[in-house]
């Protein structure tokens, strides 16, 4: 109970996502315990319209997606729409991450440079480099914008294993 309150305190204070490593160190728990803590805390936060978003690197406290319209009407704002190519690229990255640009291009049958740049600028994806290989993954901002609290919230790519010949 006390740890849940501590987690909420840490997340509430920050307007930006905070590093999972930092949380683990501060609360003296391991990654699995943090996963369980997040799950339990989310159950309680649900009653007051809040949710903890998290990916493998960071966590953020947010308002549940069912209240997005209320917030938008109050602040007279709307989510910025994405173009069709950007949505396609984002779908590919979200379902097959980490994925390289060449594979994205192969799936779409055309270069996706412009869309990738656009998505990076919006903070929805980021580039990671392992050795000489560069690939792209989604960010916590993507989860927030997509209104899901983890990548498990994404639908599965049915009927395709996603590999091109």
Partner 1 sequence: MVFVLELENFQGPFDVLLKLLTNHKLDITDVSLAEVTSEYLDYIAKIDLNIEEMNWFLLIATKLALDKSQLMLKMTPDYNDDDIDILESLQQYQHIKNMATAMTAQFKTPMYGRGSNIENSTKRVDLSNAKLNTIFLSLLEKYNNRPKTKKITSKKLIIEDLRKRFCTHLAKIKKFSSYEVIEKSDNKFEAIIYFLTLLELINQGKVNGDDCQFVVEAA
**Which of 26/164 has CB closer to partner 1?**
164
How many C-beta atoms surround the C-beta of residue 24 within 10 A? 14
Given 19, 26, 43, 111, the residue binding partner 1 (CB under 8 A) = 111
Judged by CB under 8 A, the stretch of 1-9, 11-19, 31-39, 129-137 that binds partner 1 is 11-19
Residues 133 and 29: their CA atoms lie apart, in Å, by: 33
Does position 159 bind partner 1 by CB under 8 A?
yes
Given 79, 129, 130, 132, the residue binding partner 1 (CB under 8 A) = 79
- Dump the DSSP string for 1-56: -HHHHHHHHHHHH-SS-EEHHHHHHHHT--HHHHHHHHHHHHHHHGGGTEEEEE-S
Binding footprint of partner 1 on the chain (CB under 8 A): 12, 14-16, 51, 53, 60-69, 71-72, 75-88, 90-92, 94-95, 105-111, 113-115, 118, 122-123, 143-149, 155, 157-160, 162, 164-165
């Amino acid at each position: 109970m006390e740890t849940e309150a501590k987690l909420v305190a840490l997340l509430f204070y920050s307007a930006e996502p905070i590093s999972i490593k930092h949380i683990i160190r501060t609360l003296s728990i391991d990654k699995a315990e943090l996963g369980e803590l997040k799950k339990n805390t989310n159950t309680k936060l649900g009653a007051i319209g809040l949710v903890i978003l998290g990916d493998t690197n960071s966590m953020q406290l947010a308002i549940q997606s069912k209240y997005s319209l209320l917030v938008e009407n109050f602040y007279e704002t709307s989510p910025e729409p994405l173009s069709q190519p950007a949505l396609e690229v984002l779908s590919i990255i979200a379902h097959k991450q980490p994925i390289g640009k060449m594979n994205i291009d192969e799936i779409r049958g055309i270069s996706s440079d412009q869309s990738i740049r656009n998505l990076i600028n919006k903070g929805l994806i980021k580039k990671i480099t392992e050795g000489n290989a560069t690939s792209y993954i989604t960010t916590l901002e993507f989860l927030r914008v997509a209104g899901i609290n983890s990548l498990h919230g994404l639908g599965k790519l049915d009927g395709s294993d996603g590999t091109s010949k």
